[in-house]
Structure 1
Amino acid sequence: MSLTDNVVAVTVPADGGWLGVLRTATAGLAARLRFAGDKIEDLRIAVDEACAMLLGIAPPGAQLHCRFEIGATELTVAISAPVNGKKKLPGDSAFAWKVLSGLTSRVDAEQADGVATIRLVTELPQQPAAA
């Protein structure tokens, strides 16, 4: 795991046994950013679902790269993996996309140069005004 300013990057093997590391990193960062408990769980589920989609198209021995970027008003989680041959992410009408759309503010994906990336964008919680 590396931390540069407002970016946290985590790379794990593209194997279901390692997804717990990404779920824990997601929950820890969301808690640090003061997300509510239910929103933390939504983010964990969204990251897990995006990873599952990528695992389905990644070749054996690949790695998942997860980049958390903390912006002024939103948290962006970009998860990417190499693509095995001509496999593709499910179409945007697939149930998995509906799940991701319901758990985050925005979701998008791209597949280019043998790499698929899913971006999950969630608005940061409003912080109370200083007294």
Structure 2
Amino acid sequence: MREEIEIRLPAEPDQLSLLRTVAGAIAMRADFDLDAIADLKIAVDEACSMLIMQAAKGAVLRCTFGTDEDGIVVQSEVATDGNEPLDDTAFGWHVLSTLTDESSWTRSEAGVCLRLSLQRKVNNS
């Protein structure tokens, strides 16, 4: 069964600790191992930091965490003033690509949307 949690908060750096905490709690509740929980927390922090840097003044950062038997999908979106793309050649993007199974971004009418997924690892032992 798919569950989804959405959080909306000011697109400000001081909100990142709350997002890390929520990401960790969701991954723990979804029965991910400690390494995967830590990876997700770092990835959410990095992704939301990228979005906050591009956010329009007074923008709201919207993060949706979806879980199912396959894993966790995090979608974060923020309104921006311009049409500047996310730099997917930067070190931060490399971090996202390393810590997640999938990371992508798209431009919407209002701003930028970033999507991350972390698949559940199958234990064959």
Q: TM-score, normalised by structure 2?
A: 0.90
1:1-131 matches, cutoff 5 A = 6-90=3-87, 92-126=88-122
Please state how far the C-alpha of 1:127 moved relative to its aligned partner.
7.2
Please state how far the C-alpha of 1:15 moved relative to its aligned partner.
0.5
In structure 2, distance between residues paired with 1:26 and 1:77: 9
Q: TM-score, normalised by structure 1?
A: 0.86
State the secondary structure of the residue aligned to 1:87.
coil
Runs (5+) with no aligned partner, structure 1: none
The CA RMSD measured in Å over matched residues stands at: 1.8
In structure 1, distance between residues paired with 2:109 and 2:65: 22
The number of residue pairs the alignment matches comes to 124
Identity %, equivalent residues: 34
Runs (5+) with no aligned partner, structure 2: none
State the secondary structure of the residue aligned to 1:12.
strand
